[in-house]
Structure 1
Amino acid sequence: MADGFAEYRKRLSHWLPLDLVEIEPGIRGKGRDAARATFDEGQRVLAAIPKGALVVALDGRGRTWSSEQLAQRMETWRGAGRDLCFLIGGPEGHAAEVTARADETWSLGPLTLPHMLVRLVLAEQLYRANAMLANHPYHRA
């Protein structure tokens, strides 16, 4: 999955940079408070968001988009002239403060997916959306 992410990151570089910033997870385990871990994680996420960035939180309660709809969103986001920041939550999801900071929430669907797979799907879908906007033949739906 890491190789797949790296491949789409490389392909995307023609249209936009894709930087991966990993946040230290909250401490979880037996006898630990999961809510506190999520809150602590959230504070680190908020601190890492670039000033003025347009924030899209991946969240199961967010809106689902087809690839075509994502391309339309990408065109709107690019037109805003702001950095884009996509957030993938921890095991319990995003802290409430992170969701409140998000400009939009996006759901990849009702499944719970591991982080590495979400990264790969996110990178591939961003590549697909940008390819569609560039009239590149990658998307063949």
Structure 2
Amino acid sequence: MKMTLLAVGSKMPRWVDDAFNEYARRLPREAALHLQEIKPEKRGGGVTAEKGMAAECARIEAAIPPRSKLIVLDERGQDWTSVRLASEMKTWLESGDDICLVIGGADGLSPAIKQRADVLLRLSALTLPHGMVRVLLAEQLYRAVSILNNHPYHRE
């Protein structure tokens, strides 16, 4: 299974890159996580939030790997526990499904991407900075693998 994280935004602080890379490095080859940054649309000069999200949507859609299960992070998405994420990951691993996770830009995501999603997932009821979401998501994916492997990283 390949996991692709499409994240709108670039030039994250070094601590974000370091933390994301640390968790991605810990994942086994059969659940490798690859980050692909999507260029955000510049705002202003007549570019509304809707136009910006539409432009970002086109970039995201072009970057989604073929035949991937699409998991879109959204504040109105499903609340999964770490154990539920591990259960879903087990299903993906067993079926050989590749997954593509999407983090939107500052204004969110186009409704078109949300409608296309196989899963809308919410990481928190809190508003989080995009860099923090990258790190949190990578950590939770690592935690899910740890749960599946009965590794003591996760404790109930």
Q: Are the counterparts in 2 of residues 53 and 84 from structure 1 also a CA contact under 8 Å?
A: yes
**1:67 corresponds to:** 82
- Give the TM-score normalised by structure 2: 0.85
Tell which deviates more after alignment, 72-81 or 115-124. 72-81
More strand by share: 2
1:55 matched to 2:70? The reply is: yes
1:17 matched to 2:32? The reply is: yes
Aligned equivalents of 1:79, 1:63: Cα separation in 2: 22
Aligned equivalents of 1:39, 1:111: Cα separation in 2: 25
Structure 2 unaligned residues grouped into runs of 5+: 1-15
AA aligned opposite 1:9:
A
Q: What value does the CA root-mean-square deviation take over the aligned residues?
A: 1.3
Aligned equivalents of 2:30, 2:152: Cα separation in 1: 15
Aligned equivalents of 1:80, 1:115: Cα separation in 2: 30
Give the length in aligned residue pairs. 141
Aligned equivalents of 2:155, 2:122: Cα separation in 1: 23
Q: What are the Cα deviations for residues 31-62 of structure 1, in whole angstroms up to 9, with x where unaligned? A: 43111000100111011001100010000110
Dislocated runs of 4+, deviation >3 Å: none
Tell which deviates more after alignment, 62-71 or 72-81. 72-81
Structure 1 unaligned residues grouped into runs of 5+: none
Q: 2:50 aligns with which of 35, 38, 45?
A: 35
**How far apart are residue 79 of structure 1 and its match?**
2.3
- Give the TM-score normalised by structure 1: 0.94
Percent identity over paired residues: 46
1:89 matched to 2:94? The reply is: no
3-state SS of paired residue (1:18)? strand
Tell which deviates more after alignment, 22-31 or 86-95. 22-31
